[in-house]
Amino acid sequence: MSDWLRGGVIYQIYPRSFRDSNGDGVGDLKGIVEKLEYIAELGVDAVWLSPFFRSPMKDYGYDVSDYADVDPMFGSLNDFDMLVDRAHKLGIKVIIDLVFSHSSDQHAWFQESRFSRESAKADWYVWADAKPDGSPPNNWQAMFGGPSWTWDSRRRQYYLHNFLPEQPDLNIRNVHVQDALLDAARFWLVRGVDGFRLDVVNFYAHDARLRDNPPLEIDEGTPARPHQFQRHLYDRTQPEAFEFIARLRELLNEHNAVAIGEIEDEDPHPVQRDYTDTPQKLHSAYSFYLLRSEKLTPHIFQQAMEGWEGAPGWPSWSLSNHDVVRCATRLANEDPELTKVVLAVLLTLRGTPFLYQGDELGLPHADVAYERLLDPEAIAFWPHGIGRDGARTPMPWTVTKPLVGFTVGDDSWLPIDYRHRAMAADVQEADPNSVLHFTREMLSVRRASKALREGRYTPLEAPPQVLAHERKAGDETVICAFNFTSDPVRWPLPAEAKRTLITVGNAEIRDGAAVLDGASAILFET
């Protein structure tokens, strides 16, 4: 693995919502360049850019129509080159989002594939005949609702799509498809990117026999989406994907680049481990285990660490991204001090942490009225869906500007939550007790500590409301204790404290114990 990834911190940028430089209400690459110094001052090691490729934007960039070009709304290839150059000069690595599970239905590959069963690219996507009664080939359900199959009248066959009908699945078993995708990856590696985040990497291959998924025992109440009624044994997480991943890994090794996979599965930890357990697989992987946790308890983090105990691979962790409710709302009740505690936990877990834009400000999940919703998932499952638009609203930069400094224009593509204005970056810059200042301090502590970056992880016994663990590398030992509740607690120390590294809220070492008020934390060396 490239040395920087083990212990590094990655900052996710959702380009549409980060900074708009030309006034059209949509963020762009030049806007990101304008804010790279802000990111460098945070103290992160890399940025991950969500898709900026040419796209009809049916799923806001996750439906790619050209893997080797920038969509004009975001700028140009020259703008991208400028971004990479400036980031590298600031010591920031650049990771981009590759969507290889599927493409847009407007991609030239799919247009040729659907034209005829005899075309050169006839087998580049997943096609199947109808059942004798005309119904789809099996019972697979798409993530965004409805069957995973859409009938195409030209081919007189169904094509597979795990998401929108406008996002047909590529047939990664086809070596020519593999070659084309590797060419796309090579295009960006040659331009200087340092690695890739691989969207839904365990969706790359499906069961060749197209067997039905079995039903899943569900909790009381009705799930929001039909696909939640199934155990996804056959529509994802198939071993044939590893042939392509091995070829991708060879290419990455040639360029000293990394790949971090996104895993979507009912039992994510074994799948994460399986995708990272040899040098022929991914450098790291993360799942939705913490991203979808809705209650802040020591148990969720303990389970996350236990899920990787003894694994040869390296995990990644995230508490927010563009697909889920922000962690300040979901886990911290929009309490700034508890948000600091949550961020401190993330930055002390064994693995590579991802910070999503705005988490360093403690932004709550935005309220977006139904009439302003744009996300197809949010609209399809309203009012019971995830509400992804609320995680995608524009970054607040300047409190005094009409659209908080996100754009120089008159409107933004999504509305700005009024609560975000008072939490703008310039407001927090002026407040030494802000979430922004704490995030910078916590990242500095992590960067200075080999134990926190890559040390062994050991859980420690503590009162039920306290999460406590030890990180150890060589002679350096750091103990971390977090109180998630509003009640004070006293925790007898397992070893003598030599130096306090950082605290959240009212927390101190006194008489051989950590004394933690509500919503507080302490990290110390022993």
Residues with active-site annotation = 199, 254
Contact of 70 with 52, CB cutoff 8 Å: yes
Q: Give me the half-sphere count of Cα atoms (radius 13 Å) on the Cβ side of residue 176.
A: 8
Q: Are 386 and 375 in contact (CB under 8 A)?
A: no
CA distance 225 to 144: 8
CB-facing half-sphere around the CA of 394: CA atoms within 13 A:
29
Give residues with Cβ within 8 angstroms of 281, minimum separation 6. 242, 245, 246, 249, 275, 313
443: tokens are 């990242």
Pairing of strands 157-160, 127-128: antiparallel
Give whole-number Cα distances, 190 to 13, 15, 51, 176, 181, in Å: 22, 22, 18, 21, 14
DSSP H helices in 206-319: 241-254, 268-274, 298-306
Bridge-based pairing state of the strands 284-287 and 258-263: parallel
Q: Which residues contact 320 (CB under 8 A, 6 or more apart)?
A: 291, 326, 327, 328, 355, 356, 358, 359, 391
| 206-228 core/surface letters (b: 16 or more CB in 10 A; e: else) | bbeebeebeeeeeeeeeebbebe
What region does 200 belong to: left with phi over 0, alpha with psi -120 to 50, or beta?
left
The count of other CB atoms within 10 Å of the CB of residue 384 is 10
Tokens describing residue 524: 């110390």
Q: Write out the E strands in 106-205.
A: 127-128, 149-152, 157-160, 195-198
Largest CA distance in the chain: 79
User: Which residues face 489 on adjacent strands?
Assistant: 516
Name the residue among 332, 343, 314 with its Cα closest to residue 457. Answer: 314
